[in-house]
Amino acid sequence: MKIVNIESFPIRVSNNSDKGRKINTKNINTAMLANTELSDKSDSYNNSKNISEPKRHLEIKSMDSYETIVKDMGEYYIDEGSNTSIYSKSHETTVVKIETDTGIIGWGEAQSPVSPNTSATIIKDIVTPLTIGKNIFDVEAIWHKNYAAKRERGHYTGFYIDAICGVDIAIWDAIGKALNMSTAQAMGGIHRNNVSLYNGIGGTIPEEVADQAEWSVGKGYKYLKMHLKEDLDKTIEIVTKVRERVGESIGLMLDVHMGFDTFNAIKLGKELEKINLLWLESPSDPIDIPGLCEISRSLDLPIANGEWTRTKYEMREIFEKKAYDISMPDIARTGLTGGKQIATIAELYNIPVSPHVGGGGIVSIAATLQYSMTIPNFLIMEHSEQGHAVKSIILSENFDANNGTYNSPSKPGLGIEIDEKKLEEYKIKPSL
């Protein structure tokens, strides 16, 4: 069953495009950057601690509100105050379509939260010529062929691997459909039919982050992850407020987005151990393996990391040195082939896997669900209740979580149906 066609769709969907499925809470990335209004909001917060006060309406704010901290780059922006990542003002990614000589269609995603045209160009110029004509059941050989093609070109990670992985996911979708079974079954079998999720929350005002936590618990989530970009004291204040609001029965995690050096990450971790968190995520620079090792050795609190690490080759040193306790591969960056390899190696070192989703779109979510069902050392899967409506807009039917859980889809392959008219509607023009 040969691959006869590969297409990529770089898409951009406005965060206001959810068409009646709007979630009444903040966009996480926007909330994390809401620093310029902090003094005014903090004053009102400090003067209004009455429990009977109605909850504030949590809306996405205009980018104009943050112009003193955020550099506006047109479609993108960056928080110059925290030396962190570039973000898009919209949901962006690259959806991949493959077609076989028997008419089977497979869908994949090369995670592209910034510059989806880059991934699409790599797929068109390099991955497609290397892949056309191959049998879908040679999926692992296809991945390795594409990877090896760049051994002398220096692209061991980043956009090139993302492009390979987008095609890899699409092939696995096609394999499941060809066999009339789920992709998880095709990959080796199902360990679980229900996958637990945690919801992401974020912000700068303790009360507002607690509002989001309470809202998430009301949606059925038993696990929540805070995305915070604050100094040590403010971080502890927010985490403490959230714990007070939701109680001890809700599992809490914290992602500080590489915001600390080794010394201060350890100092933060010691304080967090008093608040009973499940893990501290991305405490420092992910390429500083010795620093991460020191953080892990110094804390009883588990360290989670790995969303940027795309291949088994990158993971080897991390696993050997126990640089962190929980591995977080992102399937739209590793592919299903690479993700399964990482999970297998992690199992050898008794390391649980909590797959990252983050900036990925709906195909990424569907692929990650299949991945979560098929690996033995699965822990919990990331989700964003707030962003789901926007991400799923390209589907012909809903693909929703229920009470903090995803159930095994009934359809073969990844279990989703893409509306190609929607893809064309949100497809962006080439950059050049």
Helix (H, G, I), strand (E, B), or coil: what is residue 90? strand
- Does 3.20.20.120 match the CATH number of domain 194-420? yes
Assign 3-state DSSP to the chain and report helix, strand, coil percentages, each to 5. Answer: 40, 20, 40
| Residue range 114-135: mean pLDDT, rounded | 96
Residue type, 223: Y
Residues 6+ apart with CB under 8 A from 148: none
* Positive or negative torsion for Cα 120, 371, 144, 342: positive
Cα 236–387–108 angle (5° rounding)? 120
Q: How confident is the model at residue 364 (pLDDT cuts 50, 70, 90)?
A: very high
**Which residues in 247-269 are b (16+ Cβ under 10 Å) and which e?**
eeebbbbbbbbbbbebeebbebb
Where in the chain are the domains? 194-420
- Output the six-digit token pair for 105: 């269609």
pLDDT value at position 60?
A: 36
Please enumerate in sequence order all residues whose Cβ is within 8 A of that of 359, keeping only pairs 6 or more positions apart, or say none. Answer: 92, 93, 111, 113
**What integer best gives the mean pLDDT of the chain?**
88
Residue 56 CA to residue 111 CA, distance in Å, equals 33
User: Does position 32 have pLDDT exceeding 50, yes or no?
Assistant: no
Q: Which two tokens stand for residue 301?
A: 């609190």
Give tens-digit pLDDT for 48-104: 334 333 333 333 333 343 334 678 888 998 877 665 688 899 999 999 999 999 999
Q: Looking at residue 43, what is its pLDDT?
A: 39
Q: Using one digit for the tens of pLDDT, what is the confidence trace for 198-243?
A: 999 999 999 999 999 999 999 999 999 999 989 999 999 999 999 9
For 381, list phi and psi in degrees, rounded to 5.
Answer: -110, 140
State both tokens at 99.
Answer: 């077609």
Q: What is the signed CA dihedral for 10, 143, 392, 408, rounded to 10 degrees?
A: 170
Average pLDDT over residues 354-374: 96
- Which pLDDT score, from 0 to 100, does residue 73 have? 87
| Reported pTM | 0.89
Question: Tokens representing 340?
Answer: 């399964």
| Interval 337-351: pLDDT, tens | 999 999 999 999 999
